[in-house]
Amino acid sequence: MAIFSQLPYELFVGLRYTRAKRRNHFISFISMTSMIGIGLGVAALIVVLSVMNGFQDELRNRILGVASHLQITGPNNVLEDWQRLEQAVEGAPHVQASAPYIMAQGMLSFGQAVQGTIIRGVLPDAEDKVAELGSHMRAGKLTSLQPGEFGIVLGSELAQSLGVSLGDKVVLMAPQGQFTPTGVVPRIKQFRVVGLFEIGMYEYDAGLALIHMQDAAKLYRMGDGISGVRLKLDDLFGAPNVARELGARLMGVGNYYITDWTQQHANFFRAIQMEKRVMFIILALIVAVAAFNIVSTLVMAVTDKRADIAIMRTFGASRAASCRFSLCRVR
């Protein structure tokens, strides 16, 4: 009792009311129901938003396991003098690594199975610095891609569709044909499967194949040119700002197109962001309903205490003290 006597009298009276027997049990029931309702609403809001944030992070990590933070390409998918460009961007702020690549379309065949795919010519050592594809290898290694050996790394779904496994040989047909006396003949080259990867996204697992960049340059007759340069940044969320800075930095170097990961996969993240906003509004309405119940309970409780508040005022309690005790404005 000595501890309670040292408290401000408003708090002391409030604590006494919490332990006192209520005259109106209906108000107690409504108060408890309202508190439980707002607790459940806040818990649902936290859980749903946490799940949505986790799903967005997982999707982003899977996409960036194959894609890059920034991508610099040239007109008509051909980038000349890329060594000079790579040296210019490696010294830029926030850029951690760069990797050249060749991107083209092709047709893979094995036996009677034929599948169209995206062919990406890479340098294995440089590719590991800008993406996490090496950590998603299901069989073989990315470093097994050696120039002149014509090895190929396939997505798991693509390999399953073709019915191939490690060590099998597939035929890659390039859409750009060569002219012969008998007509246009597509360029065909046999590749040996040296690795399989699995990202967990069907778009990549079923539609992407990797070969060495020198082999891709020979097959697609790129010469010394490439399709572009992929960049890794120290902060992936700063990609749009870094893209603008690089655009100004490379203005005098040549004609380039710079895109970041938020532009390349905008549909995914816009859909997730819209869903998060709608879920937040729905759950906020649940919390608002519970809050209105609490307000109505307080109004009913104050109405029930009007006589007690009047007695406190007669004992000399100020209007502010009475308001702190009653949580309302007493007229």
Which span out of 139-153, 239-253, 257-271 was modeled with the highest average pLDDT?
139-153
Please say if the pLDDT value at position 178 is more than 70.
no
Which span out of 82-96, 135-149, 285-299 was modeled with the highest average pLDDT?
135-149
CA distance 35 to 195: 58
DSSP E strand stretches across the chain = 70-73, 95-110, 113-122, 137-140, 151-155, 169-180, 183-197, 208-212, 228-233, 257-260
Which residues, listed in sequence order, are joined to residue 108 by a DSSP beta bridge?
A: 115, 172
Q: Which residue do the tokens 């532009």 mark?
A: 263
Kindly tell me the burial class for residue 50, based on how many C-beta atoms sit within 10 Å of its own C-beta (0-12, 13-18, 19 or more): exposed
C-alpha dist (Å) from residue 196 to 159, 191, 261: 8, 14, 24
Q: Which residue do the tokens 């009311």 mark?
A: 17
CA distance 68 to 98: 9
Strand 151-155, strand 208-212: pairing = antiparallel
CB-based contacts of 146, cutoff 8 Å, min separation 6: 212
Two structure tokens written together for 208: 């992407």
Question: Looking at residue 4, what is its pLDDT?
Answer: 47
User: What is the percent of the chain where pLDDT is above 70?
Assistant: 80
Low-confidence winner among 157-166, 200-209, 257-266 (lowest mean pLDDT): 257-266
Q: What angle do CA 206, 161, 192 make, to 5 degrees?
A: 85
177, 197 Cβ separation under 8 angstroms: no
Two structure tokens written together for 46: 């936290």
Give residue 60's region: left, alpha or beta (phi > 0; psi -120 to 50): alpha
Two structure tokens written together for 303: 């109405």
258, 213 Cβ separation under 8 angstroms: no
Averaged pLDDT score across all residues of the chain: 78
Domain ranges of the chain: 2-58+271-326, 69-261
Question: Looking at residue 252, what is its pLDDT?
Answer: 65
Question: Looking at residue 194, what is its pLDDT?
Answer: 93
User: What is the percent of the chain where pLDDT is above 90?
Assistant: 11
Question: Looking at residue 119, what is its pLDDT?
Answer: 92
What would the pLDDT profile of 61-88 be if each residue is shown by its tens digit? Answer: 677 667 778 888 887 778 877 888 888 7
Please report, to the nearest 10 degrees, the dihedral formed by the alpha carbons of residues 320, 326, 327, 331 taken in order: -60
Please say if the pLDDT value at position 329 is more than 60.
no
Query: HSE-up of 329 (CA within 13 Å, CB side)?
Result: 1
CA distance 45 to 283: 6
Q: 96 vs 22, which has greater pLDDT?
A: 96
Which span out of 18-22, 29-33, 240-244, 299-303 was modeled with the highest average pLDDT?
240-244
- Mean pLDDT of the 227-242 span: 83
Tally of residues, the chain: 331
What would the pLDDT profile of 256-306 be if each residue is shown by its tens digit? Answer: 888 888 777 777 777 777 877 887 787 778 777 777 777 777 777 677 777
